[in-house]
A and B are shown apart, each in its own frame.
Chain A
Amino acid sequence: MPKTDSLQGSLDLLVLKILSRRPRLHGYAIMTAIKDWSGEVLRAEEGSLYPALHRMEEAGWIRAEWITKDSGRRARMYELTAAGKKQLSAEESRWQAVTSAVNRVLRTV
């Protein structure tokens, strides 16, 4: 089973959760956060992060803003929207349900 498969389902959830705890991150920081918080277990494939971010942006769950850093370079910062907060709790409960269902199957013999 390819790892990206199961992560793609939860990539949205991770990003929303991260942004709920640490608002205003740019793409690279989000990727780093995923890596850090999961103790290097989960790693988002770098290239496919941005299409996912833009998709969530179009869906209205996150919004983005360009800022200029001190170094003079521009960065696009993302933060959670109100709709995104609602989506986050929906995704969380869904994840819980899936996990408990799968775990139940795995435990039965």
Chain B
Amino acid sequence: MPEKKLDLLQGTLDLMVLQTLAAMGSLHGYGIARRIEQSSGDAVLLNQGTIYASLVRLQQRGWISAEWGTSDNNRKAKFYSITKRGRKQLAQEAAYWQRLSSVMGRVLAMQDEGGDR
């Protein structure tokens, strides 16, 4: 595990939020953040602002929906859940991510080929 917490690009964070909601169902913002941190083995740095920026973005694109409810300690909070469009988007993005990370992995592991093209 790296010593420093990682900052994430917005796209990557969006992907993780969608995945979390798809797996956990309805969650409020704080719960999503906690869940991501846990799942990643506490490697990821999330602050309140980043999570909510992501949630607003995903809402605007119609990939998640929100409604008011009460949290565990009886507080009023907005709960988010993934939409049908969101699930389709999640599948696409997850697939792209796999491609990207595997290609990047290959490139990073590449040995010296030598010679100009």
Contact = CB atoms under 8 A, between A and B. Distances in A.
A/B contact in complex, CB under 8 angstroms: yes
Interface of A: 1-3, 5-10, 13-14, 17, 21-22, 25, 29, 32-33, 36-39, 41-42, 92-95, 97-106, 108-109
Contacts of A33: 117
Q: How large is the interface on B (under 10, 10 to 19, 20 to 34, 35 or more residues)?
A: 35 or more
B71 interface: no
Contact of B11 (A5, A36, A93, A109): A5
A43 to B, nearest CB: 11
B104 A95 contact: yes
A17 B103 CA distance: 13
A68 to B, nearest CB: 16
Interface string B86-104: 0000000110110111011
Contact of A106 (B2, B19, B43, B105): B19
B82 interface: no
23 contacts: A1-B93, A2-B11, A5-B11, A6-B11, A6-B96, A6-B97, A7-B100, A10-B100, A21-B110, A29-B117, A32-B117, A38-B104, A41-B99, A41-B103, A97-B43, A98-B6, A101-B6, A103-B101, A105-B19, A105-B20, A105-B36, A108-B23, A108-B39
A14 B107 contact: yes
Interface of B: 2, 6, 8-12, 14-16, 19-20, 23, 36, 39-41, 43-44, 93-94, 96-97, 99-101, 103-108, 110-114, 116-117
Contacts of A8: 9
Contacts of A1: 11, 14-15, 93, 96
